[in-house]
Amino acid sequence: MAEKNTSVLTAQETFGEDPVVGVGLMADDARQAARGLARAPRAWKDRALLLMAQRIEERSDVILEANGKDLERGRQNDISPALLDRLKLDPARIKGLAEALRELAALPDPVGTVVRGQTLANGLRLRQIRVPIGVVGVIYEARPNVTVDIAGIAVKSGNAAMLRGGSAALESNRALVGILRDALADAKLPVDCVQTVDDYGRDGANA
């Protein structure tokens, strides 16, 4: 299988240096992707999740190399042992990420589930039905495993995710997001339902 990465360019190279403009353009892409993903049947979303799990395992060497750079930078910056442990990925943790995606694929599709309903006296039927939110922005720190967890949950629920995983895990998250986007492309789903604004730093998070 030929290696590829749909996120090879930095956000600045793709969208420009201004974080407000750049994140705005990314959000536009995310909204468009979310509309497409919201219409995807369960079989398509589950196939994407299984491909995401497979690609993570296949490219574990890429993930570990990127994570090693983050760990080395963290040690040089004297971050705490607890934070380093949160940041660290190893073969067992990567296997756990893939298994979590497979477990997610096996769950029922939340989209379209009827939560409750009633028929009024005049015969009008009311139903509360679960639907995708659209675009979800998530900010977290030094937990590259969360990148995969959120992306998986977003795909399963038909939403797009814009991620800010923090500078401590920059290389790990960049590698993971690229791999996840590759899997989405292979599954014929919109790749922009998973994006990271990490290249824009704190300004990107604020935007």
- Mean pLDDT per 10-residue interval, the chain, length 207 residues: 49 82 94 95 97 97 97 94 94 97 96 85 88 94 95 97 94 96 96 94 90
Report the alpha-carbon distance of residue 167 to residue 164 in Å, rounded: 9
Q: What is the pLDDT of residue 143?
A: 94
Q: What is the pLDDT of residue 9?
A: 66
Q: What is the pLDDT of residue 7?
A: 43
pTM, whole model, 2 decimals? 0.88
Q: What is the pLDDT of residue 6?
A: 41
CA-nearest of 201, 137, 139 to 170 is: 201
1 belongs to a structural domain? no
Q: What is the CATH number of the domain that holds 24?
A: 3.40.605.10
37 belongs to a structural domain? yes
Strand order in the sheet with 135-139: 135-139, 160-164, 194-196
Tally of CB atoms within 10 A around 102: 15
List C-alpha distances in Å: 117 to 122, 129, 169.
15, 9, 44
Q: What is the pLDDT of residue 115?
A: 83
Q: Which domain holds residue 39?
A: 18-206
4 belongs to a structural domain? no
186 belongs to a structural domain? yes
Q: What is the pLDDT of residue 192?
A: 96
Q: How many domains does the chain have?
A: 1
46 belongs to a structural domain? yes
DSSP conformation letters of the chain: -----TT-S-HHHHH-S-HHHHHHHHHHHHHHHHHHHHT--HHHHHHHHHHHHHHHHHTHHHHHHHHHHHHHHHHHTT--HHHHHHH---HHHHHHHHHHHHHHHHSPP-TT-EEEEEE-TTS-EEEEE----SEEEEE--S-HHHHHHHHHHHHHTT-EEEEE--GGGHHHHHHHHHHHHHHHHHTTS-GGGEEE-GGGHHHHHH-
Q: What is the pLDDT of residue 10?
A: 77
